[in-house]
Amino acid sequence: MSWPVRAQGFSYQVCLGCGIKRLFDEEAFRAYGPYSYDLNRLIAWHQGREAKLHPAKEHRTAS
């Protein structure tokens, strides 16, 4: 795997043999998540995971 690369606000690594990508956590200094040739698919996976972990709070008006 390559050294971490940064694009579109995300860090990822690329396999030097086949070109597959995987997201990279700079704070933990390790790769995470699924492998994919499509960086946009990895970003969508990450955003979906974040939405599940931190759902938007429902705003209710006082009545």
Maximum alpha-carbon separation in the chain: 61
* Helix, strand, coil percentages in the chain from 3-state DSSP, rounded to 5: 25, 30, 45
pLDDT of residue 51: 74
pLDDT in tens for each of the 63 residues of the chain?
A: 999 999 999 999 999 999 999 999 999 999 999 999 999 999 999 999 887 776 666 667 776
Distance CA 31, CA 12 (A): 7
Find the distance separating the first CA and the last CA of the chain, reported in whole Å.
57
Q: In what order do the strands lie in the sheet with 10-14?
A: 5-7, 10-14, 21-25, 30-36
